Structure 1
Amino acid sequence: MAVVFGHLAFTKRGRHIIDCNGYGLRVPYNIDASDNIHSSDALFILLVEKSFNYSSLTLEGFCDRFPCILVYVDRPDVVAQLFFRKIHKDLNLPLFALVDSDPQGFKLLKFFSTYGCGGLTNNLTPLDIKWSGMRPSDLDKHGLPKLCRLPLPKRDTKILHKLLKNDFAKKNPEWANELTLMLKTKKKVEVGALSALEDISYLTTTYLPFKLQEQDWL
């Protein structure tokens, strides 16, 4: 499932006006039926993994303080990828990603950055998505408690080794360095672990604002 929320409006089949500012809308299956996509003041598009992170951002008014468009996905989804690409093409806004610091988060990031999978998307060019977080290098930078740093199981270790051999990692050496760090520390962390810090709203009040203001992304 994928949901879009924030400073975005479009028409469906040229008739029904859809406004995503104030409530989340399930990404339309028929992408071609969505037209006249516009936003009056969005500054960027943020890809979000996990419902907990999406709920935190929407309920705590992140989009009000940082006008943006959220695209929440819980797994790789071709429909969501095509919609993500369409709003990027029509609005020409920067793309950022907020995923867990684990192999699955990286695979989701890779899926949306490249052409994904399947014949529907093989002719698409790579997208310039900025990896904002959660990155392995963030663990010490933001003082994540040891209890939040989960051990990396052998299955994940094998996935990381495979990802590092992939052409995608070779073309993105900074991202590959983060995967190598994950292998070195043998730890993975979910974005939701940020709530264990001094402020339960750390994600929306400190972490993401820091990322945006300091341009801390890869």
Structure 2
Amino acid sequence: MKTALCSKSVNGKERTKMILIQIENTILSIVNSLYNNNKFMIDLTKLSSWSNRVYSNNKQLITKTLVFTTKRSRTKFTIIIYILSKIYKNLITNNSCTTRELYYGNTTLFKHDYIVRKALIDICCLLGTKSWELGITLTSNGLVAGSLMIYMYNGRIFDCSKNIEGIQIPQDILEIQDFKSSAKYILIIEKNASFQKIINEGLLKKNECSFIIITGKGFPDINTRLFVKQLSRKLNIPILALVDANPFGIEIMCVYRFGSNTMFYQNDMLSVPSIKWLGVYPTDIESLNLTSISLTDLDQARVKSLLKRPYINSNKKLLQQVLMLHKLNKKAEIESLTNFTQTYLTEVYIKRKILNQEFI
């Protein structure tokens, strides 16, 4: 018998009502700022500040102020108000739209679709809500394959073992009622190419160590991260991450595991601290003599950024790997493991790591 995983809240209507009131209060606050300061103003959380990631009861978040009369802030101010109006309409009419639909609805204002996503992050902080509560459906690029059945509230069932290329992670994660799986491990894979290679080499057909494999096709979107979070809650099996031995790969592993700086306010719903790093490690570059190239200036800047993260400095083994990356000044990709044999990744590397429990 299936049990509810992401149960639809009986207080969903009350929650929507609260968000509507928050939007109304926000607009009222903006109008009051004109009355009190002779200018339209909005205070937003400063998402670039790592100090905002540290929580305490008496801690005040660092904020920034958008002023409509300031040329630099005017466009962003307009975008925030525009999207708030769309959210309000969606919630009032019980409708939804995608981020892409928002973008194409006013390309003159947005210029690029990523501007919509950035504005939604600001709005979630402003309203104290999760992005999936706003009537905005987030596009899912992630794929999943392996020993997993997904049961939806509408009666649909997805068998992730049937599609040889994996199936797309459902767009509305909150419509998932339950999971069923006999897998022993969940393996998050950074890139789609490696995801497909692992499928083609038959790892999912090995009965002695069945897997669910997931890829976010690079930097994971919210839906992919939320999906991994829900799997971790329900299945209670080890989750491992396979990424490139480079700053970007380590960053991706950290986003799944610890959350992202820009979305710190949703990290309780998105991060999975129990995730372990399976590889590829910077130390593998020398120990396995992997094909590598020098770090770029951008790579070095990202390494320095990683070394400032509290969760890196508090984990000795993670810190050692990042320091090794900096010392070697080299990076390697998952594909470099084929230097030995074409199937070294699945037949040797992954199996050995799991057998010896070599995780960070």
TM-score normalised by length of structure 1: 0.92
Alpha-carbon separation, structure 2, partners of 1:10 and 1:128: 22
CA deviations 1:73-111 (Å, max 9, x no partner) are: 122311100000001111111110000001110111110
Distance 1:152 1:123, change over 3 A: same
Q: Among 292, 312, 319, which residue is 1:149 paired with?
A: 292
CA distances 1:50-89 after superposition (whole Å, capped 9, x unpaired): 1221011101110121301001112231110000000111
The one-character-per-residue Cα deviations of 1:132-161 (angstroms, maximum 9, x if unpaired) are: 1000111233232xxx21111121111101
> Which of 179, 202, 207 is matched with 2:322 structurally?
179
Q: Please say if residues 184 and 237 of structure 2, whose CA atoms lie closer than 8 Å, have aligned partners that are also in contact.
A: yes
Contact kept, 8 Å, 2:229 with 2:272, in 1: the verdict is no
The answer as to 2:67 corresponding to 1:67 is no
For residues 177-200 of structure 1, the C-alpha deviation after alignment (integer angstroms, 9 at most, x for no partner) is: 101001111100000111122x11
Equivalent position of 1:33 in the other structure: 175
* Distance in 1 separating the partners of 2:316 and 2:201: 35
Highest CA radius of gyration, 1 or 2?
A: 2
Q: Which segment is superposed worse, 183-192 or 167-176?
A: 167-176
Contact 2:186/2:240 (8 A) holds in 1? yes
Q: Does 1:58 align with 2:199?
A: yes
1:132 corresponds to: 278
Structure 1 regions of 5+ residues with no counterpart? none
SS in 1 for 2:303: helix
Which has the larger strand fraction?
1
Q: SS of 2:307's equivalent?
A: helix
5+ residue gaps, structure 2? 1-140
Runs of 4+ in 1 over 6 A off after TM superposition: none
Tell me which amino acid in the other structure corresponds to 1:52: A
The alignment status of 1:121 with 2:266, answered yes or no, reads yes
| Residue 159 (str. 1) matches residue 302 (str. 2) | yes
Does the alignment pair 1:88 with 2:228? no
- The answer (yes or no) to whether the contact 1:52–1:192 under 8 Å persists in 2 is no
Q: Which amino acid in the other structure matches residue 55 of structure 1?
A: Q
Q: Which moved more, 1:120-129 or 1:59-68?
A: 120-129
Return the structure number with greater relative CO, CA threshold 8 A, min gap 6.
1
Equivalent residue in structure 2 for 1:13, among 137, 146, 153:
153
Pairwise CA RMSD: 1.5
Instruction: Considering fraction of residues, name the structure with more helix.
Output: 2
In 1: Cα distance, 2:264 partner to 2:277 partner: 26
Distance change in 2, residues 1:169/1:120 (3 Å): closer
Check 1:42–1:50 CA distance in 2 against 1; reply closer, same or farther (3 A cut): same
Q: Given the two structures, how large is their TM-score scaled by the length of structure 2? A: 0.57
* Alignment size in residue pairs: 213
Distance 1:141 1:217 in 2: 16
> Which residue of the partner structure matches residue 113 of structure 2?
none
| 8 Å CA contact 2:232, 2:272 repeated in 1 | no
**Structure 1 residue 111 and structure 2 residue 255: aligned?**
yes
